[in-house]
Copies of this chain bind each other. A is one copy, B any other.
Amino acid sequence: MKSQPVDKAVNSLNFKAMDVAQAASASSIVFDTLRKAIIEGDLPDGTPLRQEELARMFNTSRIPVREAISRLEQQGLVSSQRYKGAVVAGISMEEVDEIFDLRALLESEVIRRAVPKISEETISAARVFCDQFTASSSPSEWGDLNRKFHCTLYEAAELPNHMNVINSILDRIDRYLRAQLALTDGMETASREHEQILQACIDGDAELAAKLTNRHVEGAKASLINFLQRER
């Protein structure tokens, strides 16, 4: 009877960190962390994800780890076989080819529908990411900034389901995109094309923005496939 109010008082003190959002579940933390690690290439293709090992890392039991792996598999980021475990899913040349086409199709359509709705704030936000991208000399940032630039513009279309699909497929190829940007002229051409796309958005030319985005993606695909073929 007496100790309870004290607990409440204590709880009400550290509200800054928690705000309204309750603490994330263990499985979500594992999911988010692994997803990020895979996207950024910290876990190369084929890396086995052992449940007990991960459970130790996150100080949990294997249950949340399994749920996280299950979700990652549903998203195509890992592939797992019954009783044999899960590995980070790689991607074949044919899949790169197909997925970049899918990107080109979706992203050009989304930017087309975004342009008429783009606000000043969106433009300036995209401008910031665009400049940061061009200026950054840290390859580890390129992937993030590139994605933020594009997605900032896309968000204006207010098509959350399109974005879910785009984000899902971006997750699967982000590692390769990063590699492509690191190529000799990857950054350079990307920067130039971003500038053109942004200008088309400012001019309100939806068709041009769509066409440029399409070329941007298809160009990245060609460059990446070229790179991958020489690699092997």
**Measuring CB to CB, which residues of chain A are less than 8 angstroms from any residue of chain B?**
22, 25, 27, 63, 66-67, 70-71, 74-76, 82, 95, 98-99, 101-102, 105-106, 109, 159-162, 164-165, 169
Which residue of B67, B76, B109 is within 8 Å of A66 (Cβ)? B67
**Known A27-B70, A71-B70, A75-B74: A165·B82 in contact at CB below 8 Å:** no
State the copy count for this chain: 2
CB distance from A27 to the nearest CB of B (A): 7
15 contacts between A and B (CB under 8 A): A22-B82, A25-B82, A27-B70, A70-B70, A70-B71, A71-B74, A74-B74, A74-B75, A76-B164, A98-B159, A98-B161, A99-B161, A101-B159, A105-B105, A165-B165
Chain B residue numbers with a CB within 8 Å of A161 are 95, 98-99, 102, 169
Chain B residue numbers with a CB within 8 Å of A162 are 98, 102
The chain B residue with its CB closest to the CB of A75 is B74
CB distance from A22 to the nearest CB of B (A): 6
CA distance A71 to B72 in the complex (A): 9
Chain B residue numbers with a CB within 8 Å of A109 are 105
Report which residue of A99, A105, A161, A162 has the largest number of chain B beta carbons within 10 angstroms of its beta carbon: A161
**Known A74-B74, A74-B75: A98·B160 in contact at CB below 8 Å:** yes
